[in-house]
């Protein structure tokens, strides 16, 4: 880009936003757009994508369009722009017909530099014909992964963007942005939006102020209540997989006297708005929500995001977890993992109306998510690798990097568990396996004659809870697996062979600190 244009852009950055310099990636994207190139910007939430298209829109002649999926997001963005002195508006279904007409007229009269629209608007003939009367130098597509079937939030209405382009002469510059996209999704965005040899910028996924951790096999309620109480005055989001789970976690926290709100699609719009506003105003410490909450929420002082349940894939996870620490101050992102969450996500996949290919893709993404939950490698590195940054160093902050627990050789115990699973013919769940190892007096055990197995009672010095934890650890490390069913059955995985052959030893970190609550225990 010419020095002159760059100077202009910097000057506008200072004047409108009050910032002295561009962040990494922003300058290249702004420069490319001003040079008339299409761009594909992949930058994590909070990295500053908006400026990349708002600034060129200010500098280019005519009115630029911003396609964005969420109505609430639009209003906030437009309000913020108007406050900084950039004339902008939005047009979506929340407006009256009269208001829409008024704004369209304003657009034609050149009253705005930016017009935000929902993708559905692209289907409106009136809108498209009015567009013909104005100069449109730039179409920015926010949340561009919505155009891809391989992403985590496909919206068919995004397909209308390309049809729209055919109506605008000369063809505007296309600028696509998303927070999260794997290589496959990036390619798909570029081809579906027909980007012309776009300048691609993928900036650092690593967020230096976030510490990620995975807590496995904990009593989730105990963990949550302790975690939140240890952080008085800190705002946080608790994500849960289902509306019912949101209700139940919310009720639990409220009963403990924690100022918690709830948010899910089953609530009325007023209820949701009230909860969101209270959370933004810091009247609530915590909001318990499904993934319906948060897209486009700009609350910068969120100090923690706890996932009570594992989401369907890593893109969704990192996008949600990334809502912590947007102000650059430390943020904690905790995933409470239990194998049952995998079953829940599989259930969602099975129940969905997606075709077979799509389901297979969803299972693949889910496997990457489960791998994250189980890895003993750096969690930050695991994520940035997922997004295609190969040469990342361990972060030194995450739960795995800071795990100082001792590794203990548990090969002998593991072998007993494996042979127990084999003797039970790989047809029973974790609990019954633990009961057999413990030598429990149980009708089902007698019914199947497991009390006459040599492994029966072989680990009676351990509690049933310790044994189920051991079994889950063996699942997490890939020695055992659970079947994909509602009542999962424990089976031997390939990895067991090396152990049984004496080639591989099994290690475990001792004392899974989080599962044994300090202080009072809570009766269920
Ligand atoms: P994204 O859309 O990528 O999630 P935003 O565009 O909302 O991120 O920007 C996140 C925050 O960073 C905002 O508060 C924004 O004002 C701030 N920001 C963006 N660019 C810069 C910059 N060059 N210098 C300082 N702050 C910036
Ligand atoms: Zn790490």
Please compute the mean of the pLDDT values over residues 218-240 and round it to a whole number. 96
pLDDT band for position 485 (50/70/90)? Answer: low
- Positive or negative, the CA dihedral 55, 117, 40, 79 is positive
Q: Distance, CA 294 to ligand 2 centroid (Å)?
A: 25
Q: Distance, CA 470 to ligand 1 centroid (Å)?
A: 45
| Closest atom of ligand 1 to CA, residue 52 | 6
Per-residue pLDDT tens over the stretch 370-402: 878 877 778 998 898 887 666 678 999 999 999
* pLDDT of amino acid 450: 97
* pLDDT of amino acid 389: 64
Structure tokens at 379: 């969690």
User: Does residue 26 have its Cβ closer than 6 Å to ligand 1?
Assistant: yes
Beta strand pairing status for 286-289 and 260-263?
A: parallel
Spatial CB neighbours of 15, under 8 Å, sequence gap ≥ 6: none
| Closest atom of ligand 1 to CA, residue 179 | 3
Please compute the mean of the pLDDT values over residues 450-455 and round it to a whole number. 96
Which residue in 1, 81, 71 sits closest to 37, CA to CA? Answer: 1
Please compute the mean of the pLDDT values over residues 497-518 and round it to a whole number. 72
Q: Mean pLDDT in the chain?
A: 89
Q: Does residue 191 carry a pLDDT above 60?
A: yes
Highest mean pLDDT among 155-164, 226-235, 375-384: 226-235
Structure tokens at 253: 């926290």
User: Does residue 297 have its Cβ closer than 6 Å to ligand 1?
Assistant: no
Pocket test for ligand 1, best of 25, 28, 51, 144 (most atoms within 8 A of CB): 51
Q: Among all ligands shown, which has an atom nearest to the Cα of 26?
A: 1
Assess contact for 260 and 288: CB atoms under 8 A.
Answer: yes
Q: Distance, CA 2 to ligand 1 centroid (Å)?
A: 24
Helix axes 49-59, 26-34, angle to 10 degrees: 30
Q: Distance, CA 26 to ligand 1 centroid (Å)?
A: 10
pLDDT band for position 519 (50/70/90)? Answer: very low
CA 139, chain centre distance (Å): 26
Interatomic CA distance for residues 205 and 179, integer angstroms: 9
Per-residue pLDDT tens over the stretch 68-123: 987 878 898 999 999 999 999 999 888 999 999 999 999 999 999 999 999 988 88
Interatomic CA distance for residues 119 and 121, integer angstroms: 5
Beta strand pairing status for 407-409 and 507-509?
A: antiparallel
Q: Distance, CA 379 to ligand 2 centroid (Å)?
A: 5
Pocket test for ligand 1, best of 6, 18, 24, 48 (most atoms within 8 A of CB): 48
User: Does residue 469 have its Cβ closer than 6 Å to ligand 1?
Assistant: no
Radius of gyration of the chain (CA): 26
Q: Among all ligands shown, which has an atom nearest to the Cα of 83?
A: 1
* pLDDT of amino acid 15: 94
Q: Does residue 278 carry a pLDDT above 90?
A: yes
Q: Does residue 40 carry a pLDDT above 80?
A: yes
Interatomic CA distance for residues 216 and 476, integer angstroms: 9
User: Does residue 23 have its Cβ closer than 6 Å to ligand 1?
Assistant: yes
pLDDT band for position 518 (50/70/90)? Answer: very low
User: Does residue 51 have its Cβ closer than 6 Å to ligand 1?
Assistant: yes
User: Does residue 505 have its Cβ closer than 6 Å to ligand 1?
Assistant: no
Structure tokens at 520: 């009072």
Which residue in 100, 24, 31 sits closest to 59, CA to CA? Answer: 31
List % helix, strand, coil for the chain (3-state, nearest 5). Answer: 45, 15, 40
Interatomic CA distance for residues 324 and 334, integer angstroms: 11
Q: Does residue 255 carry a pLDDT above 60?
A: yes
pLDDT band for position 517 (50/70/90)? Answer: very low
Do the interacting molecules here have an ipTM over 0.85? yes
Interatomic CA distance for residues 274 and 268, integer angstroms: 10
Dihedral, 392, 397, 400, 406 alpha carbons, nearest 10: 130
Helix axes 356-374, 314-321, angle to 10 degrees: 50
Q: Does residue 453 carry a pLDDT above 90?
A: yes
Q: Does residue 514 carry a pLDDT above 60?
A: no
pLDDT band for position 524 (50/70/90)? Answer: very low
Q: Among all ligands shown, which has an atom nearest to the Cα of 381?
A: 2
Assess contact for 218 and 473: CB atoms under 8 A.
Answer: no
39 has which bridge partners?
175, 199
pTM above 0.80, yes or no: no
* pLDDT of amino acid 1: 57
Q: Distance, CA 391 to ligand 2 centroid (Å)?
A: 14
User: Does residue 48 have its Cβ closer than 6 Å to ligand 1?
Assistant: yes
Q: Does residue 282 carry a pLDDT above 50?
A: yes
User: Does residue 46 have its Cβ closer than 6 Å to ligand 1?
Assistant: yes
* pLDDT of amino acid 321: 95
Interatomic CA distance for residues 57 and 420, integer angstroms: 66
* pLDDT of amino acid 144: 94
Beta strands in 387-447 (DSSP E): 407-409
* pLDDT of amino acid 364: 77
> b/e string for 189-208 if b means 16 or more Cβ within 10 A?
bbebbebeebbbbbbbbbbe
Per-residue pLDDT tens over the stretch 256-268: 999 999 999 999 9
Q: Distance, CA 50 to ligand 2 centroid (Å)?
A: 29
* pLDDT of amino acid 328: 85
User: Does residue 50 have its Cβ closer than 6 Å to ligand 1?
Assistant: yes
Of 301-305, 328-332, 352-356, give the lowest mean pLDDT range.
352-356
Q: Distance, CA 86 to ligand 2 centroid (Å)?
A: 41
pLDDT band for position 439 (50/70/90)? Answer: very high
CB neighbour class for 179 (10 Å; exposed up to 12, middle 13-18, buried from 19): buried
Q: Distance, CA 344 to ligand 2 centroid (Å)?
A: 27
Interatomic CA distance for residues 175 and 139, integer angstroms: 6
Q: Distance, CA 220 to ligand 2 centroid (Å)?
A: 23
Atom 13 in ligand 1: which residue has the minimum CA distance?
Answer: 48
Interatomic CA distance for residues 282 and 301, integer angstroms: 9
Per-residue pLDDT tens over the stretch 12-33: 999 999 998 888 689 889 999 9
* pLDDT of amino acid 513: 47
* pLDDT of amino acid 515: 45
Would residue 370 be called left, alpha or beta, if left means φ above 0 and alpha means ψ between -120 and 50 degrees? alpha
DSSP annotation string for 143-185? TGGGG-TTSSS--GGGGHHHHHHTTSSSPPEEEEEES---HHH
Atom 17 in ligand 1: which residue has the minimum CA distance?
Answer: 48
187 C-beta neighbours (distance < 10 Å), count? 14
* pLDDT of amino acid 233: 94
| Closest atom of ligand 1 to CA, residue 21 | 23
CA distances from 16 to 5, 82, 465, 508 (A): 16, 10, 59, 55
Per-residue pLDDT tens over the stretch 43-53: 877 788 999 99
């Amino acid at each position: 880009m010419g020095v002159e244009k760059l100077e202009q852009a910097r000057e506008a950055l200072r004047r409108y936003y009050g910032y002295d310099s561009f962040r990494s990636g922003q300058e290249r994207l702004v420069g490319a757009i001003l040079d008339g190139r299409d761009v594909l910007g992949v930058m994590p939430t909070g990295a500053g994508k908006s400026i990349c298209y708002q600034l060129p829109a200010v500098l280019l002649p005519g009115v630029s369009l911003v396609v964005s999926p969420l109505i609430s997001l639009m209003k906030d963005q437009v309000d913020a722009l108007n406050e900084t002195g950039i004339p902008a508006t939005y047009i979506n279904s929340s407006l009256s017909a009269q208001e829409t007409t008024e704004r369209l007229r304003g657009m034609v009269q050149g009253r705005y530099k930016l017009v935000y629209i929902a993708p559905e608007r692209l289907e409106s003939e009136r809108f498209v014909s009015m567009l013909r009367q104005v100069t449109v130098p730039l179409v920015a597509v926010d949340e561009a992964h919505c155009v891809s079937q391989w992403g985590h939030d496909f919206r068919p209405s995004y397909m209308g963007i390309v049809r729209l382009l055919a109506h605008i002469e000369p063809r505007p510059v296309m600028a696509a942005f998303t927070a999260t996209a794997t290589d496959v999704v990036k390619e798909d965005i570029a081809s579906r939006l027909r980007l012309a040899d776009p300048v691609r910028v993928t900036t650092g996924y690593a967020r230096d102020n976030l510490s990620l951790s995975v807590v496995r096999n904990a009593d989730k309620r105990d963990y949550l209540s302790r975690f939140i109480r240890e952080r008085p005055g800190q705002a946080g989001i608790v994500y849960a997989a289902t509306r019912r789970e949101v209700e139940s976690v919310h009720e639990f926290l409220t009963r403990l006297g924690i100022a918690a709100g709830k948010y899910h699609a089953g609530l009325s719009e007023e209820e949701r708005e009230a909860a969101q506003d209270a959370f933004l105003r810091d009247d609530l410490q915590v909001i318990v929500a499904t993934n319906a909450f948060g897209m486009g929420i700009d609350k910068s002082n969120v100090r923690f995001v706890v996932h009570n349940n594992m989401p369907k894939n890593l893109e969704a996870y990192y996008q949600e977890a990334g809502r912590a620490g947007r102000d650059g101050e430390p943020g904690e992102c905790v995933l409470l993992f239990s194998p049952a969450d995998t079953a829940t996500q599989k259930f969602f996949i099975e129940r969905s109306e997606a075709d077979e290919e799509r389901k297979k893709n969803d299972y693949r993404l889910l496997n990457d998510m489960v791998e994250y939950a189980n890895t003993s490698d750096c969690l930050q590195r695991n994520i940035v690798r997922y997004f295609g940054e190969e040469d990342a160093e361990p972060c030194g902050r995450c739960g795995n990097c800071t795990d100082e627990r001792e590794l203990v050789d548990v090969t002998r115990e593991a072998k007993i568990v494996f042979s127990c699973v084999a003797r039970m013919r790989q047809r029973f769940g974790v609990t019954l396996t633990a009961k057999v190892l413990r030598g429990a007096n149980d009708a089902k055990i007698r019914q199947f004659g497991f009390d006459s197995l040599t492994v029966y009672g072989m680990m009676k010095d351990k509690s049933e809870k310790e044994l189920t934890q051991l079994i889950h650890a063996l699942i997490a490390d890939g020695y055992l697996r659970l079947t994909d069913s509602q009542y999962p059955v424990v089976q031997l995985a390939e990895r067991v062979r090396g152990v049984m052959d004496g080639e591989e030893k099994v290690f475990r970190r001792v004392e899974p600190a989080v599962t044994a609550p300090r202080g009072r225990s809570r009766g269920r």
